[in-house]
Every structure is written in C-alpha cells, then in structure tokens.
C-alpha cells in the first residue's frame, strides 16, 4: 500500500511559465546582465539559457552550458535575494492530491527564497505534510537523492511504499530511480516523455487512476473509466 508520495513543484503542480512577466522581469533582467557581462557566452547561448531558466534548475543549466564557477557564484548571489510577490495559480487539478492516501511531501529544487515565495503565492502549503527546499547555493545542500533517502529512513519506509511524481528526468526522476522508488513522470503541456521514468501520466487525475490500478490505493469510484 502507498505510504507517501513525493511531489515536485515546478511544472508538476504549477506551470512555471505562468509567473507574470512583470513579477519575473527584475530577476530576468539581472540574469541577462550577468550572462552578457561575463564575456564567456555568445548571444545564442544566452538566449538558450534565458529560455531554459523556466524549465530547469540553475545547476542543471550551468552543467549544460559549462558556466564557470565565477558566473555561477554571481548568479547564485543574485537569485538568493529574489522572491515573488504576485498571484500564482496551481494547475486546476491540484485538489486531487487530497484523495491520494499517505504522506504528501513536496520537494523542490531552486533558490530557497524564490521557491518558498512560489509556494506562498500559490497558497498550496496546506496540502503537504512536509515541504523541503533542495536549496541551490546553500553550502549544506544535499540534493534530491539524499533528501529522499533521509525521508525514507526517518519514516521507516521501503522504496516500494513511496512514489515520486515529477516532470524532470534529470532531477526527481533520476533521484527516485537511484533509490528504487517508483517514478512517475507527469507530462504537462509539451513535456517529452523520458524513458527513465517508470510510468507517465498527463495529469493528477490519471496519476490517481494509476495508483488505483496498481492497487496502491483504494479505488475512488467503481465506475472510474480513466486509464
């Protein structure tokens, strides 16, 4: 039986690109200034990074583009100060997670103030038993794999009693796989299915159906005709 689900935040529970332009502008302007000012990057690469900043955590972007430690440091210093103060909306199916039995854990990678401000703006903290920020730029950062492992140990859970739900194959899906936790990739919008995820769903309703058909939670309705 299911004892816990570890949820990702960005593009799992809310569309990261839905942050209003005026709220994101100071952050994006400062990012562009650092990238243009560092003298390491061509314009096309800067444009790529400005696009990817919505879809991937900064450490992943840095790896992908070989950003120097110096640039990464400057970006870290810059992002560490940002928080959002605007209205954000979760995906409209958010309430379905109340029907999912067991502990609900939210683990999100990013800069602490920014991620915490997103959760505040979304008003979704009450859905979760625990919220953990895998905080970029903090010296004691553990990463998702260690966070998941410590959670299993602290709650004395076996990997098969837990499910990881997220969109990013290089982040939570990879971390879950390495610990033997079943991983479900949620494909919101135009996301590509990753072969590394154990399963794929389009939304939370299908996630719940998937748990039911695996016998991990009792059926919510005998007439349910989802997948």
Residues that bind Mg ion (CB under 5 A): 8, 10-11, 167-168
Q: Output phi, psi for 108, to 5 deg.
A: -130, 135
Q: Tokens for 97?
A: 């997670």
Q: Which is nearer to Mg ion, 116 or 167 (CB)?
A: 167
CB 172, min distance to Mg ion, A? 7
Shortest-Cβ-distance residue relative to Mg ion: 10
Answer for the pair 132, 147: CB distance below 8 angstroms, yes or no: yes
Strand order in the sheet with 162-166: 130-135, 103-110, 4-7, 162-166, 183-186, 199-201
Q: Output phi, psi for 124, to 5 deg.
A: -115, 5
CB 75, min distance to Mg ion, A? 19
CB 220, min distance to Mg ion, A? 25
Between CA 226 and CA 208 the distance in angstroms is 9
Q: Which is nearer to Mg ion, 11 or 212 (CB)?
A: 11
Q: Which is nearer to Mg ion, 11 or 174 (CB)?
A: 11
Q: Which is nearer to Mg ion, 74 or 206 (CB)?
A: 206
Q: Which is nearer to Mg ion, 16 or 72 (CB)?
A: 16
Answer for the pair 94, 124: CB distance below 8 angstroms, yes or no: yes
CB 167, min distance to Mg ion, A? 4
Question: What is the C-alpha radius of gyration for the chain, rounded to an integer number of angstroms?
Answer: 18
Q: Which is nearer to Mg ion, 100 or 171 (CB)?
A: 171
Q: Tokens for 93?
A: 């199916």
CB 131, min distance to Mg ion, A? 15
What is the DSSP annotation of 8-68?
--BTTTB-GGGS-HHHHHHHHHHHHHHHHHTS---HHHHHHHHHHTTTS-HHHHHHHHT--
CB 98, min distance to Mg ion, A? 21
């Amino acid at each position: 039986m299911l004892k816990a689900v570890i949820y990702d935040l960005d593009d799992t529970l809310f569309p990261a690109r839905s942050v209003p332009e005026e709220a994101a502008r100071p952050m994006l302007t400062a990012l562009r200034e650092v990238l243009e000012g560092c003298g390491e990057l061509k314009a096309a690469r800067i444009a790529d990074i400005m696009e990817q900043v919505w879809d991937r955590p900064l450490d992943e972007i840095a790896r992908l583009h070989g950003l120097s430690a110096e640039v990464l440091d400057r970006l870290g210093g810059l992002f560490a100060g940002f928080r959002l103060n605007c209205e954000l909306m979760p995906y409209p199916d958010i309430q379905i997670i109340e029907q999912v039995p067991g502990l609900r854990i939210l683990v999100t990678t990013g800069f602490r103030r920014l991620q915490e401000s997103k959760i505040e703006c979304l008003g979704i903290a009450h859905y979760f038993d625990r919220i953990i920020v895998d905080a970029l730029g903090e010296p004691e950062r553990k990463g998702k794999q260690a966070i998941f492992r410590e959670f299993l140990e602290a709650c004395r859970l076996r990997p098969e009693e837990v499910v990881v739900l997220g969109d990013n194959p290089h982040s939570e899906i990879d971390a879950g796989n390495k610990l033997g936790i079943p991983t479900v990739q949620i494909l919101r919008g135009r996301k590509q299915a990753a072969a590394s995820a154990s399963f794929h769903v389009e939304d939370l309703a299908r996630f719940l159906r998937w748990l039911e058909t695996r016998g991990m939670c009792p059926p919510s309705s005998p007439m349910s005709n989802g997948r």
